[in-house]
Amino acid sequence: MAPQLDPYFKKVDELSESFIDRLRKAVAIPSVSAEDERRPEVVRMGQFLADELKKLGAEVEQRPLGKQPHKEHLDLPPVVVARYGNDKNKRTILVYGHYDVQPAQIEDGWATKPFELTIDDKDRMFGRGSTDDKGPVLGWLNAIEAHQKAGIDFPVNLLCCFEGMEEYGSEGLDDFINAEAKKYFKDADAVCISDNYWLGTEKPCLTYGLRGCNYYSIEVSGPGQDLHSGVFGGTAQEPMTDLINVMSKLVDNQGKILIPGINEMVAPVTEEEKKLYGPIAYTMDNLYESLGSKTGIFDNKEQTLMARWRYPSLSLHGVEGAFSAPGAKTVIPAKVTGKFSIRTVPDMKPEAVTEAVYKYVKDEFAKLNSKNKLNVYLQHDGKWWVASPSHWNFSAAAKAVKQVFGTDPDYTREGGSIPVTLTFEEATGKNVLLLPMGSSTDGAHSINEKLDRRNYIEGTKLLGAYLHYVAEEKMT
């Protein structure tokens, strides 16, 4: 029988202002995991979540993860784990999310203060972390609260695992999940992660695949200190010249990866797979809208989706140590570190990718005959994940989508990465579902990141409805 959800939905609507307040408080904590000096804010954000969960009656623990690798002076922020309900007659659902965010500074071009939730006349709620991933994480808490206030029995036992280092490669979390799979997480019947986005702005999706991410640094150094380009230009071998040379050989402007061996690792497209792309509700205009331009590589949807979901990509991210301020400083930087990453897909092995990268970068540098020094290293790698959507976890979510949004979801893969997804699947042996809240225009990681009020409130309904359907869905 379809669960009676109207009282729950009504309560979510009634409580929507206080749910937005909860998001406002969360966005106000600048929990940037990549900035060492902001580690206390990350910890404060974990504490905020723990306090909120405790107020809702959950049993909460903050588990330490030890020191940050390569930065032993820094403690990793704790994992916030919680249990809400312990009824042997109910299913147990494990939900994961992250409470850290990407860096943000108003100078980057934000129209509003990044750590102040600002709602415009279109009910867009701007703020760093609004969609990635504070809104979705709070969605679970909101769902608990609305059940309590509506006097509706919570349909499942909920286990929460909220981490504070996701945007930095989920340091320390793999070991934690592996250690707790048969302990804290042992009752889990299925896993749900709300940390991705709809393909467009209207149609919800259920996601069954993610790309992995191998992130590299190339360091080139030579001179003992930064130099005057008038005095030393033409006489010193410049690290930046070498770095740009090497970086320019990694990928071409059609997205083709130039490192030998990488493209050969990619699983071939099957006839069956080809048929999946056509029916997906996605248009080139969706791409252009979220790009904010018409500068896509391909001019059709199939190639675009394939390039995003099932082929690898290589992106150049930046150069540490390079002169990047406004103005015209005539400097020769003494040491520069270029950053790039490769999104990986089936059947690429992270270690094999790294081996190919090291060899190629060193070979290309050697061709330059430079007296400078090169060092290439892996910052972190995270595995890709592709699962089967024919599982009761997915069919329950599809019913919830239908009830809340009146449409069937699309089944999608994604180009982004959540490093621990595969870890949850392998360690618990349970099905993992990605159930997004935000939309394609939210601009995660960009300036003016936002979550639409509708996505937050209807998304809270969706997460709650999913728990009702997953409680009674027949095993498949």
Asked if 100 is an active-site residue, the reply is yes
Nearer to Mn ion, 132 or 163 (CB): 132
Q: And the tokens for 389?
A: 């959507």
Q: Does 132 bind Mn ion (CB under 5 A)?
A: yes
Q: Does 195 bind Mn ion (CB under 5 A)?
A: yes
In 3-state terms, what secondary structure has residue 332?
Answer: strand
Which residue from 155, 172, 382, 459 is in contact with ligand BES, where contact means CB under 6 A?
Answer: 382
228 annotated as a binding-site residue: yes
**Sole window of 54-62, 157-165, 172-180, 410-418 interacting with ligand BES (rule: CB under 6 A):** 410-418
DSSP 396: H
Q: Does 473 bind ligand BES (CB under 6 A)?
A: no
Asked if 87 is an active-site residue, the reply is no
Q: Which helix (H) or strand (E) holds 27?
A: helix 16-27
Q: Does 419 bind ligand BES (CB under 6 A)?
A: yes
Q: Does 414 bind Mn ion (CB under 5 A)?
A: no
The least distance separating ligand BES from the CB of residue 175, rounded to whole angstroms, comes to 16
445 annotated as a binding-site residue: yes
- Please count the other Cβ atoms lying within 10 Å of the Cβ belonging to residue 418: 27
Sole residue written with tokens 């709809």: 198
Q: Of 166, 381, 414, 452, which one is the catalytic site residue? A: 166
Angle of helix 16-27 relative to helix 39-55, nearest 10 degrees, comes to 160
Q: Does 196 bind ligand BES (CB under 6 A)?
A: yes
The residue nearest ligand BES at its CB is 416
Which residue from 145, 364, 414, 442 is in contact with ligand BES, where contact means CB under 6 A?
Answer: 414
**Residue 382 site contact among Mn ion, ligand BES, none (CB < 5 to 8 Å, cut-off depends on kind):** ligand BES
- Please count the other Cβ atoms lying within 10 Å of the Cβ belonging to residue 302: 14
Alpha-carbon span 266 to 344, nearest angstrom: 9
Alpha-carbon span 446 to 127, nearest angstrom: 10
Q: Does 195 bind ligand BES (CB under 6 A)?
A: yes
The least distance separating Mn ion from the CB of residue 327, rounded to whole angstroms, comes to 32
Q: Which helix (H) or strand (E) holds 232?
A: helix 229-232
Alpha-carbon span 197 to 180, nearest angstrom: 28
Q: And the tokens for 201?
A: 């702005």
Angle of helix 135-150 relative to helix 16-27, nearest 10 degrees, comes to 150
Catalytic residue set: 100, 166
What residues are designated binding site for substrate? 195, 228, 330, 343, 417, 445
Enumerate binding residues for ligand BES (CB under 6 A).
132-133, 166-167, 169, 195-197, 213, 382, 414-419, 444
